[in-house]
A and B are shown apart, each in its own frame.
Chain A
């Protein structure tokens, strides 16, 4: 188990750096070389959060008074969750490509005395935080207002989002490495952009499908009478049922640790190519965003813990 150490060079310290790098994209350079003030963005964030909380405060009692039956609620929750997973996967794939191949700092990190498992632990957790952060921004008001209005089961949203972020980010990192192995880093980046666009389109199409109420209603009736227990199990997690919730979280944590342990070996296999022009470009301090593929440690070195 990776120890969370807050001292310089510790895993927690490295995670702080990861999170800082994820959100540093918002730092802008002014013409005079100074960094632009972010008070406007912060103010907008606060205002938007207040509005979302207010909306959630009005919505939750309505859902509980006029909401669907438990069976229908499970179906709707499952559908919402699958849409969320699609969007999460697109976000996590972009994050994985950036973290592994665009940021270009793995040479610096891996040439330091830090254990590689700490580096990949922090890197993957950084993606999890960024993915979960986006979704919690919109869903946390529901959970918070649920608690405030006497429906604490809404707090399950926190667990669901974190568990899904762990699961999806881990899958995204493994998928990225497999894609790099199969089609190379540059094409992987293009494919990830295409997948993101497709995910967005899919969500749009689903929202359009929801508008055709008759057809949707018929489908939902079909689902209620069919054997969908496997899929609806996810929806029950969203609705706050303890067993599915615990199962989802356990699966997320397990896949997360499996991924942090295996990423280096995957990277080695995915990138065991000659460190050519791309790798040299990565090392240059020009810090330009580029797909760079370098050959990392082989399995033989990974046994030694660094």
Chain B
């Protein structure tokens, strides 16, 4: 068993000014981790470096013990980053393609594709072009794409934004099931209720630095709040954002 599903060490990235500043973060296998922060805090930049899409100025990224810098192909084999959906493909074609990117053949991917489409109530639309889908349907299909190759580490940037209640529930259930099956989820969200209810540990990032991390109770204690303090109270207290 690896010690970390994702480990970022002294990770830095600057776009003129520091976006991520010597960030250290470790997520255990089988953990549901939420990364919170105000706009411009460096969450997306952090995730893009974690997925190998962006080169850090300094620091290291390890995915299940594999160094992203030295063996990116092996590191990426374990992870999925919320993909986009091709408007001119049908869901079945799309899932077949994404599975193929991870070297999985169409026949091998088909049962899992059917299962995911069924889970997300997309089976009856399986042979339609996704350009006619609602935003929620596209987002659910994108999540199916992220899960089609059974990644051990799922990294998602605002996966629930713009979803209606029913779709959000389906996505949350699927993410929880992924964790229950031994997978790891790292997500950013502005919907604090999601982090509060789903995440085992929460990291709060501000100006590219991790300013607090722990369970909700630990964060409450850090913020000097009692047991009835909500994550919103904790977040505002820790980030110094105006209420």
B-contacting residues of A (Cβ < 8 Å)? 7-9, 13, 17, 21, 24-25, 27, 29, 33-35, 104-105, 107-115, 268, 272-275, 279-280, 282-288, 294-301, 304-306
In the assembled complex, the Cα of A301 lies from the Cα of B75 at a distance in Å of: 13
| CB-nearest residue of chain A to B51 | A111
Q: Say whether B138 contacts A286, CB under 8 Å.
A: yes
Q: A275-B48, A304-B69 are in contact. Are A287 and B53 (CB under 8 A)?
A: no
**Is the CB of B209 closer than 8 A to any CB of chain A?**
no
Q: A9-B101, A280-B44, A287-B86 are in contact. Are A112 and B54 (CB under 8 A)?
A: no
Least Cβ–Cβ distance between A64 and chain B, in angstroms: 44
**Is the CB of B24 closer than 8 A to any CB of chain A?**
no
Least Cβ–Cβ distance between B146 and chain A, in angstroms: 10
Q: A8-B104, A298-B55 are in contact. Are A113 and B69 (CB under 8 A)?
A: no
**Is the CB of B184 closer than 8 A to any CB of chain A?**
no
Q: Which of A115, A272, A273, A300 contacts B73 (CB 8 A)?
A: A115
Q: A17-B97, A115-B73, A306-B72 are in contact. Are A24 and B103 (CB under 8 A)?
A: no
Chain A residues in 8 Å Cβ range of B99: 8
Q: Which 7 A-B pairs give the minimum distances between C-beta atoms?
A: A298-B55, A285-B142, A306-B72, A8-B100, A24-B88, A112-B101, A108-B83
Q: Say whether B84 contacts A108, CB under 8 Å.
A: yes
Chain A residues in 8 Å Cβ range of B51: 111
Q: A108-B83, A285-B141 are in contact. Are A9 and B135 (CB under 8 A)?
A: no
Q: A274-B15, A295-B54, A297-B55 are in contact. Are A282 and B103 (CB under 8 A)?
A: no
A-B contact pairs, 7 of them (CB 8 A): A7-B105, A105-B86, A107-B84, A111-B83, A282-B84, A285-B139, A294-B53
Q: A108-B101, A113-B102, A115-B73 are in contact. Are A297 and B83 (CB under 8 A)?
A: no
Q: Say whether A306 contacts B132, CB under 8 Å.
A: no
Least Cβ–Cβ distance between B130 and chain A, in angstroms: 7
Q: A111-B76, A304-B70 are in contact. List 6 more A-B contacts (CB 8 A).
A: A24-B86, A111-B53, A112-B101, A113-B74, A280-B158, A298-B54
**Is the CB of B241 closer than 8 A to any CB of chain A?**
no
Q: Say whether B98 contacts A29, CB under 8 Å.
A: no
In the assembled complex, the Cα of A272 lies from the Cα of B19 at a distance in Å of: 13
Q: Say whether B53 contacts A305, CB under 8 Å.
A: no
In the assembled complex, the Cα of A74 lies from the Cα of B123 at a distance in Å of: 60
Q: Say whether B19 contacts A274, CB under 8 Å.
A: yes
Chain B residues in 8 Å Cβ range of A275: 44-45, 48, 54
Least Cβ–Cβ distance between B96 and chain A, in angstroms: 9
Least Cβ–Cβ distance between A186 and chain B, in angstroms: 18
Q: A7-B103, A8-B106, A9-B102 are in contact. Are A283 and B128 (CB under 8 A)?
A: no
| CB-nearest residue of chain B to A105 | B84
Q: Which of A25, A113, A272 contacts B103 (CB 8 A)?
A: A113
Chain A residues in 8 Å Cβ range of B70: 304
Q: Say whether B76 contacts A33, CB under 8 Å.
A: no
Chain B residues in 8 Å Cβ range of A105: 83-84, 86
Q: Say whether B84 contacts A284, CB under 8 Å.
A: yes
Q: Say whether A27 contacts B129, CB under 8 Å.
A: yes
**Is the CB of B62 closer than 8 A to any CB of chain A?**
no
Q: Say whether A13 contacts B100, CB under 8 Å.
A: yes
Chain B residues in 8 Å Cβ range of A34: 127-128
**Is the CB of B52 closer than 8 A to any CB of chain A?**
yes
Q: Which of A25, A115, A285, A296 contacts B53 (CB 8 A)?
A: A296
**Is the CB of B173 closer than 8 A to any CB of chain A?**
no
Q: Say whether A283 contacts B157, CB under 8 Å.
A: yes
Chain B residues in 8 Å Cβ range of A285: 82-85, 135, 138-139, 141-142
Chain A residues in 8 Å Cβ range of B219: none
Chain B residues in 8 Å Cβ range of A286: 85, 135, 138
Q: Say whether B53 contacts A110, CB under 8 Å.
A: yes
| CB-nearest residue of chain B to A31 | B132
**Is the CB of B89 closer than 8 A to any CB of chain A?**
yes
B96-132 contact mask (Cβ, 8 Å, vs A): 1 or 0: 0111111111100000000000000000010111111
Q: Which of A33, A111, A305, A306 has the most CB of B within 10 A?
A: A111
Q: Say whether A306 contacts B73, CB under 8 Å.
A: yes
Q: Which of B72, B105, B139 contacts A304 (CB 8 A)?
A: B72
Q: Say whether A301 contacts B69, CB under 8 Å.
A: yes
Chain A residues in 8 Å Cβ range of B187: none
Q: Say whether A8 contacts B128, CB under 8 Å.
A: no
Q: Which of B16, B74, B88, B138 contacts A27 (CB 8 A)?
A: B88
Q: Say whether A268 contacts B15, CB under 8 Å.
A: no
**Is the CB of B28 closer than 8 A to any CB of chain A?**
no
In the assembled complex, the Cα of A301 lies from the Cα of B52 at a distance in Å of: 9
Chain A residues in 8 Å Cβ range of B71: 304, 306
Q: Say whether B100 contacts A33, CB under 8 Å.
A: no
In the assembled complex, the Cα of A110 lies from the Cα of B79 at a distance in Å of: 12
Chain A residues in 8 Å Cβ range of B235: none
Q: Say whether B129 contacts A8, CB under 8 Å.
A: no
Q: A112-B101, A285-B139 are in contact. Are A306 and B76 (CB under 8 A)?
A: yes
In the assembled complex, the Cα of A298 lies from the Cα of B74 at a distance in Å of: 19
